[in-house]
Amino acid sequence: MNTNKAEVYITAEQIEEKISILAKKLNKDYAGEQLTIVCVLKGSFMFFADLVRKLDIDVRTQFITASSYGSGSKSSGAVKSNVDALNKDVIEGKNILIIEDIVDTGHTYHRIMNGIKQYNPKSLKFATLLFKPARLETEVHLDYLCFEIEDKFIVGYGLDYDEKYRELPYIGLMNS
Ligand code: IMP
Ligand code: MG
């Protein structure tokens, strides 16, 4: 096992704890309702998988893609997404919860929220594992947030640098 890949920033245990708290909140907030929970690929896959396993409400899952970073670590501002190609029946009149790995500049947030709104959901909320307020370039409303972090480039637990480090069970800082 390669234990030397990235310096630990948030441990697997800390992540687990926050996800349990979030799942409890969702189980309460959506009690008696049906919830369509939308995974924003690729970065959210691990967060999404761990979160949905802790939900005991009536859940439907959807998957969309969004990418803004290209291959570097600076956001380009232009977000590519397939959100406009969804079948409207999976969103229209439904309670939608977007699951994102990290909100950085906020451009992906707007791309996705505006994309989903066009299908007229019954309700629309946004959950993110991480939030870097220092880098925000637009206003965002985060309904559910696990960790607010410093302005550092992080990897692991789904987040990548050039498609590397996604497999790490913790959130780390790259050794440079
Ligand atoms: P935004 O559009 O600038 O808010 O960027 C959101 C997306 O950029 C996230 O979904 C991530 O895929 C990526 N991203 C932002 N910050 C980081 C980071 O520190 N590490 C890895 N990916 C990041
Ligand atoms: Mg990414």
Token duo for residue 95 = 């309670």
**Residue 137: Cβ within 10 Å count:** 12
* pLDDT for the residue numbered 164: 95
* pLDDT for the residue numbered 76: 65
Instruction: Check if 89 is active-site.
Output: no
Q: How far is the CA of 31 from the centre of ligand 2 (A)?
A: 32
**Residue 93: Cβ within 10 Å count:** 11
Determine if ligand 1 sits within 6 Å of the CB of residue 108.
Answer: yes
List pLDDT tens digits, range 7-28.
999 999 999 999 999 999 999 9
164 half-sphere exposure, CB direction, 13 A CA radius: 11
> How many Å apart are CA 51 and CA 131, to the nearest integer?
17
* Closest ligand (CA of 40): 1
Tens-digit pLDDT string for the chain (176 aa): 555 579 999 999 999 999 999 999 999 999 999 999 999 999 999 999 999 999 999 999 999 999 985 555 666 678 999 999 999 999 999 999 999 999 999 999 999 999 999 999 999 999 999 999 999 999 999 999 999 999 999 999 999 999 999 999 999 998 76
Could you tell me which residues come within 8 angstroms of residue 114 by beta carbon, excluding any fewer than 6 positions away? none
Q: How far is the CA of 25 from the centre of ligand 1 (A)?
A: 25
Mutate to test the pocket of ligand 1, among 102, 139, 161, 165 (most ligand atoms within 8 A of CB): 102
pTM, two decimals, is 0.94
Positive or negative torsion for Cα 63, 73, 2, 12: negative
Mapped onto helix, strand or coil, the DSSP state of residue 34 is strand
Catalytic residue chosen out of the listed positions 89, 104, 143, 160:
104
Determine if ligand 1 sits within 6 Å of the CB of residue 154.
Answer: yes
* Closest ligand (CA of 172): 1
* pLDDT for the residue numbered 74: 63
* pLDDT for the residue numbered 75: 64
> How many Å apart are CA 69 and CA 78, to the nearest integer?
9
Name the residues around ion ligand 2, CB cutoff 5 A: 43
Token duo for residue 80 = 């590519």
Mutate to test the pocket of ligand 1, among 101, 130, 174 (most ligand atoms within 8 A of CB): 101
